[in-house]
Amino acid sequence: MFYELATLTTAVGQTMLAVPQVAAYTRAPEARGRMIGCWRSEFGPQNRIVVLREFAARDDLESERQRALQSADPFGCGQYLTALSMESHAPFPGRPPIEVGAFGPIYEFRSYVLKPGALPETLAAWSVMLPRRTRLSRLVIAMYALDGAPRFTHIWAYRGWDERMSIRARALREHVWPPSSAPHTLTPAMVSEVYLPTENSPLQ
């Protein structure tokens, strides 16, 4: 599988106006792939919609990328947009297909920029630690970028903020997290943001 993470920034007060158009765009007859999740920003940069789509083949992802780039109305909501970015990703090895359902409503997106050449060690370290860490809370996806700077993103689902804080503390206390590779494979460019699912998101 391949994944696209699209970030749509809207004018102030227009985020929720764009959401229905985004859903319709990803489900149009000519669209490829499937929408896994659609979220609006809560903690972090505001006026954002993040869309995660899954593709069986990279050609399908590239086709959708061109559909957006060549459109005068990208994602069906061009009138509301002030910025648009689209990133291509592959899942960490051995991860199961994403299961959709009501696992939130707190979804934490954590993105790290890697030092050059650090991806193989990162993947190896995560393969060891993830089975223990995912027993504590649901990992939606861990994926590494196929374009731009070497980096990866992981998305975690929590029932509430208190649960998130409790589980994070437990993971540190029990030495379940972070993986041992973290100190010497990561750059200081780390971002954590919290998003809430929109009403038409398969992941709730």
The lowest-confidence range among 9-23, 112-126, 136-150, 175-189 is 175-189
Gap between the Cα atoms of 117 and 154, Å rounded: 19
Nearest Cα neighbor of 86 from 147, 37, 26, 17 is 147
Q: Residue 42's pLDDT is what?
A: 96
- Same domain? 27 vs 70: yes
Within this chain, do residues 105 and 193 fall inside the same structural domain, yes or no? Answer: yes
* Domain endpoint, select from 58, 90, 122: 90
Q: Does position 160 have pLDDT exceeding 80, yes or no?
A: yes
Look at residue 202 and tell me if it is in a domain. Answer: no
Residue 204 lies in a domain: no
The helix/strand/coil state of 15 is helix
CATH of the domain at 59: 3.30.70.100
Residues of the chain with pLDDT > 90, as a percent, come to 92
pTM for this prediction: 0.94
Maximum Cα–Cα distance across the chain: 51
Q: According to the model, what pLDDT value does residue 138 have?
A: 96
Q: What is the pLDDT of residue 60?
A: 97
Q: Which of 32, 58, 90 is the last residue of a domain?
A: 90
Same domain, 139 and 77: no
Q: Which domain holds residue 105?
A: 96-197
- Band the pLDDT of 179: cuts 50, 70, 90: confident
Last residue in a domain, options 55, 90, 125: 90
Taking alpha carbons only, the member of 10, 5, 81, 84 closest to residue 47 is: 10
Q: Which residue type sits at 45?
A: P
Note whether 79 and 144 are same-domain residues: no
Compute the distance between CA of residue 44 and CA of residue 29 in angstroms, rounded to an integer: 34
User: How many separate domains does the chain show?
Assistant: 2
